[in-house]
Structure 1
Amino acid sequence: MTAVWLLHVLFSLFSFGLVWFIIRYYSDKLETENLQKVISIFGLFVIQIILWAIPIDIYYGNISEKSTMASFYYGFFVIIFFIIFLFLPMGFFYYNDINLNKKDRIIKALKLSLFISIIGLIVFIIGFWMNRKNPDVDPWMKEIFTQRSPVHFAAEFLIGVLAIFGIIQFLKYTIYGLSMLPISLIKGKQDITIENSQIESQIVIAREKRRIIETKYYALDTPVTKRDQKEIESLKRKERNLERAKNKINEDQQKFLSKVIRFCNPMRKFFGFVFLLFSLFLVISVLLSLIYKITSSSCGSNCGFILNGPTKNPFDLLMVNLSKAFPLDYFVFVAIIVYFIIISLSGMAKIGLRFLWVEISRLRKKSTVPEILILMIATLILIGITMIFEFFYFAPQWATFGSQKNEKGELCSITDIPNCKISGIAIFVYRILSNSFFSVWIWISNLIFVVLYTLILVISLKKPASSNFEYDD
């Protein structure tokens, strides 16, 4: 057991390094204060500690020790509550108004973060006073849902609410990255020579348009109208952006790293195909889980669509077989989480951080302002919470029982409790999903996941290769 938890410590250290790299990559290099970095690293680090514990929990999967693992999850989620409802808002509002002096910024940040904390407390109280009846389930499942205090119900309700917001971010950014990243790797960038030629042509056209407008007013000796003045300014901006793009492409073309990347172009395409196949593999698994949860769950949404028995979900079968040679399933789990962090960041970078359809800001290397960095971390934390629930669609058998078998030598089903040991994370998740609203919401969200992925994939296949430089029109 010591060796297994040592593995958790090693992955936690890896996690710290990964988080530090992400923060350093996006942080504004001119920003001298480190408060946002400390808050961001701490927040993302905590959610990853929870995630890294899941394969170990499944490996040991002992219902007699469920109180220990439950305490672990509840305890760390209390920290998550403070991070989301207090620390992150405080950091966001502190950096949001740089025109105030430091004292006024602190006071304003405390007031507004207190308001956010009160909202979280209200949600917690609602969960505390809501109907706390355990779902009407078969006797062998009662062990999952009993022995809960009102505080547990309140915490589970609050986590469920956070999961709803997390799924919205998941559908916005993660699905976009899951669809677009493999295709962008396969297609690569546009040919530099061709793009340079196109940029030069656009520069000539923009200059000629501007010259025609300016010549017209020069010949007539009349003042430029507001409409044409705006057009002239717009054309000047376009020229500057195009010149900047041309210079940047020419500079990058001479860099050693760019030459190495071009040399490794076939390898990039190879990884693109691997990621595409893996993404399709996951989406097919989710689709099958959606069908199984409707057709093979005796208690339905009342218990979170717990499956009656093992399924033919391909990713689930892979994880179950890998768990027989632990820690192989642990390595795959970690790789998936890291991959989903990367594609989520890719999605945020491509479409920008948004509230509904309104773009707030874009992530930029070494130039992301502190409040946007904090917003990015809050989004990743919510996506991390969602990933806990998603694994019960990616690999429901593995997440619930691992590779355990019953007395007949068959993979465990829910009817084999207590002879089969259900994982602590399964108890934790299914308790939250015993609220039908959350279980139905997550089922529908996964259906949207499959549909959105398919649509974005089709669109991305039709899009041309991306530019070597992002510039405004």
Structure 2
Amino acid sequence: MALIQTSLIWVAYVVAVAILLVIAAVFVFVYQTPRDRAASVTIVSIFTTSALLATVLLLPVDVALVSSTSLSSEGRKKDWATPDRVHGITHTLTIVYYTLYSLDAVLCLLVVPFTYFWYEEYDDDAAEQGEQTAGQRLWGAFKYTIAFIIFVVIIFLVGFFVPFAKQFKGDNRLDLDYFKHLLQENHGERALSFALGLLMTIGTLIYILYTGAGLALLPVALVKSAPSVSAPTLAASTASQLEQNRERQRQLEGRNEGREGGLDSRDRRELESLVREERTLIRRERLAAESSGEDRHALVKAWIKVEAAFRPLKLLGGIVLMVLAVIIFVSMLITGIDKAKNSVCKAHCGYILGKIHIVQPLNWIFVISSKVFPVDYVLFLLLTLFFFCASVVGIATIGIRFLWITIFKIRKGHTSPQALLLTTVLLTLIVLAINYSVAMLVAPQYATYGPQTFCDRSPKHPGEQPDCSDDHKAIKPCSELSDNPVAKDVCTPSVVSTFINRVTINFPFFGVILFWAQFAFLGVYLIVFVTTLFRTPKLDQEQIDQDLEEEEEEGLLASTGRRFGATWQDITGRARKNNYGATATNGESS
């Protein structure tokens, strides 16, 4: 029975990873530009995005596996959950975590930079003339990647030799076995913990800006978006206007054939106006074609049609996400206050809480739902995707910047390969920060012990488990501060919570930065949320419209507005017959 339950949990994880692979592929194909696509960039971006999402989604599997060893209703271990079996489960999880964290670090610090330089080294002219070989391109990319290799080596050397928190070994606040277990002597594990802590800290600084803003922008953008014209209708009306424009130009040119001096001043002004209008209409036609998914990958076309079909649900979805974002804000704020006030040793151990003193909504929901797997898994998947999508929206809105200088813009169908790779690196670092926030602030009790409980009684006979069947009030939730010897045998902390707490207690400076940065994250969210309530954010397609308008000598495109309405034409790809946007034939702009 135990083997079947464990196998089902891992099967659910494999299914979730397969779903994440599809989501990562959709993300990459939707955002990358179809005119400048490279197979190496596409593969690396999809694989890296899938790996980082698989890492954070291992948490509910971790919780489900350690929780499966106990009977929460009775506060005791199951009969089959011997110390060796429990150690086998946690050891397997530890190996998977180490593998995924190491993979994320290698992809972020080595593979993605190498792919970036590999793409940059390609020279069309030299390749066509046979002057650039694969070996030359490989050496050119490797030459620039050496700096990143040196950086990785330095990180692990510093983590290997840096002093850890020995001075706190004598702290009576850390006398519990849980905290003693976190203080490491193994240099190899400490090196990996230091590297993870450093990357998590860097990712948290990025997480504050992009995810904090995106968490507020995403729901408000869905609520405030009110497109009115479908892409097929826009394409049909633009084609009609363009045909009338060119017909009028032919009439003017035919009228003045053979006339001495050419066109008179009036006809010349009208013809010049028609030529400017023609350029604008051609750009508008191209924009409508891109919006409809023409000349794009089949996956992008399918995504556009699905997006159009679900567009009427935008308002409802935006309201639901807005409520969820507010609940996340409140939950994180409550836990943050609880940690700041009731932490076991405050900054000395990175504000490890030890025991929840203030109940908050999300943690309570996850603990209750974790009693019936995979309900908590589905909820956690949705929560993770919400954070991920918020991060993408934040990056797309703000762009990749250095201080006030925009280096790359991230837009649907217009993201260059270099920008896509840099976005992948940012998302990798952000997901490490999300892993900390979810485990330590959003749902700390769930992420540490799940629904595990213990019987707060002494056993009747030595070697036996205590019995709380006649008094359920004696059943207490597991916590790090449980001093009952029974709790030590019954409560098994999740591997991810142990790993994160190990980082913060061995390197307290990381814990201090990670903890107080959460309040900065909440501050950014609150500022952006209040701002967007009164000002519509400019996202993706609106930015494309703005770029096109800036290219024009006159504002013909300004009348187009948002044109991706939730219409049947968007789904079928057919435009209805109407007189929308008819162009005047007197040469005036519509």
TM range (shorter): 0.7 to 0.9
Which region of structure 1 is more displaced relative to structure 2, 390-399 or 182-191? Answer: 182-191
Correspondence for 2:98 among 61, 65, 74: 74
> Which of 474, 490, 493 matches 1:422?
493
Aligned residue in 2 for 1:109: 141
One-letter code aligned to 1:283: F
Q: Does structure 2 conserve the Cα–Cα contact (< 8 Å) formed by 1:132 and 1:150?
A: no
Aligned partner of 1:442 in structure 2 is 514
Q: CA deviation at 1:394?
A: 0.4
Q: Which amino acid aligns with 2:18?
A: L
Instruction: Verify the 8 A CA contact 1:242 1:471 in the aligned structure 2.
Output: no
Aligned equivalents of 1:370 and 1:322: distance in 2?
Answer: 41
| Deviation readout 1:190-243 (Å, 9 max, x if unpaired) | 6669xx9xxxxxxxxxxxxxxxxxxxxxxxxxxxxxxxxxxxxxxxxx999976
Correspondence for 1:298: 344
Matched, 1:37 2:42: yes
Q: Is the 8 A contact 1:57 1:69 kept in 2?
A: yes
The partner residue of 2:152 within 120, 123, 136 is 120
User: In structure 1, the residue corresponding to 2:401 is in which secondary structure?
Assistant: strand
Q: Which moved more, 1:314-323 or 1:417-426?
A: 417-426
Matches within 5 A, 1:279-318: 279-310=325-356, 311-318=358-365
Conserved in 2, the CA contact under 8 Å of 1:188 and 1:465? no
Gaps of at least 5 residues in structure 2 are 1-5, 70-85, 127-131, 235-275, 294-300, 456-473, 551-590
Question: How far apart are 1:362 and its partner, in Å?
Answer: 1.1
Distance 1:356 1:144, change over 3 A: farther
Runs of at least 5 residues in structure 1 that lack an aligned partner in the other structure: 197-237
Please say which of residues 336-345 and 119-128 is displaced more in the overlay.
Answer: 336-345
Which of 1 and 2 has greater Rg?
2
Letter aligned with residue 426 of structure 1: S
Alpha-carbon spacing, 1:465–1:157, altered in 2? closer, same or farther (3 Å):
closer
CA offset at residue 266 of structure 1? 5.3
The C-alpha deviation readout for 1:81-105, integer Å capped at 9, x for no partner, is 2212211110111223444735443
Q: Secondary structure at the match of 1:309?
A: coil
Aligned to 1:216: none
CA contact (8 A) 1:50 1:73 kept: yes
Alpha-carbon distance in 1 for matches of 2:46, 2:290: 31
- 1:412 paired with 2:478, answer yes
- Verify the 8 A CA contact 2:399 2:410 in the aligned structure 1: yes
Query: Secondary structure of 1:414's partner?
Result: coil
Separation (CA, whole Å) in 2 of partners of 1:41 and 1:26: 12
- Aligned residues of 2:121 and 2:141 also touching (Cα < 8 A): no
- Comparing 105-114 and 247-256, the one that deviates more: 247-256
Counterpart position of 1:154: 191
**Partner residue of 1:431 out of 498, 502, 506:** 502
Q: Which range moves more in the overlay, 263-272 or 310-319?
A: 263-272
Q: 3-state DSSP class of the match of 2:317? A: helix
172, 183, 190: which is aligned to 2:220? 183
The answer to whether the Cα contact below 8 Å between 1:176 and 1:347 also exists between their aligned partners in 2 is yes
* Range 161-170 or range 72-81, more displaced: 72-81
Match of 2:468 in 1: none
Q: Using the alignment, how far apart are the partners of 2:47 and 2:305 within structure 1?
A: 37
**Which of these residues, 530, 533, 537, is aligned with residue 458 of structure 1?**
530
TM-score with structure 2 setting the length: 0.67
Secondary structure at 1:367's aligned position in 2?
coil
User: Does 2:402 align with 1:402?
Assistant: no
Change in Cα spacing, 1:396 to 1:31, as seen in structure 2 (3 Å) is same
The structure 2 residue matched to 1:10, chosen from 11, 15, 18, is 15
User: 1:32-431 to 2 correspondence within 5 Å?
Assistant: 33-61=38-66, 64=87, 65-99=89-123, 101=132, 102-134=134-166, 135-136=168-169, 137-146=174-183, 148-189=185-226, 267-310=313-356, 311-391=358-438, 392-407=440-455, 408-416=474-482, 417-418=487-488, 419-431=490-502
Q: Distance in 1 between matches of 2:292 and 2:94?
A: 56
Give me the whole-angstrom Cα distance separating, in 1, the residues matched to 2:347 and 2:209: 25
Distance 1:147 1:352, change over 3 A: closer
Rounded to whole Å, the distance in 1 between the matches of 2:432 and 2:493 is: 20
Q: Alpha-carbon deviation of 1:68?
A: 3.0
Q: Which AA in structure 1 matches 2:154?
A: I
In 2, the alpha carbon distance for the partners of 1:22 and 1:329 equals 25
Could you tell me how far apart the structure 1 residues matched to 2:351 and 2:279 are? 53
Deviation at 1:263, TM superposition (A): 8.8
CA contact (8 A) 1:361 1:372 kept: yes
For 1:242 and 1:439, the matched residues in 2 are separated by 55
> Which residue number corresponds to residue 22 of structure 1?
27
Q: Distance in 2 between matches of 1:188 and 1:367?
A: 21
Post-superposition Cα deviations, 1:54-75, rounded to whole Å, max 9, x if no partner, equal 1111122277343332222122
Across the two proteins, how many residue pairs are aligned to each other?
A: 430
The 3-state SS of whatever aligns with 2:164 is: coil
Change (3 A) 1:365 1:152: same
CA-based RMSD of the aligned residues comes to: 3.0
Looking at structure 2, the residues matched to 249 and 17 of structure 1 have their Cα atoms a distance apart, in angstroms, of: 27
Deviation track 1:408-437 (CA, whole Å, cap 9, x = no partner) reads 212222123513111111111100111111
- Could you tell me how far apart the structure 2 residues matched to 1:182 and 1:55 are? 25
Looking at structure 2, the residues matched to 148 and 42 of structure 1 have their Cα atoms a distance apart, in angstroms, of 34
1: CA distance between counterparts of 2:277 and 2:156?
54
Shift of 1:279: 0.2
Output the CA distance in 1 between the equivalents of 2:496 and 2:437: 12
**1:352, CA displacement in angstroms?**
1.2
CA distance in 2 between counterparts of 1:50 and 1:250 reads 38
Mapped to 2, the partners of 1:398 and 1:254 lie a distance apart of: 44
Distance of 1:19 and 1:252 partners within structure 2: 21
Distance 2:380 2:150 in 1: 36
Which residue number in structure 2 is paired with residue 235 of structure 1? none
More helix by share: 1
Q: Distance in 1 between matches of 2:190 and 2:277?
A: 60
SS in 1 for 2:410: coil
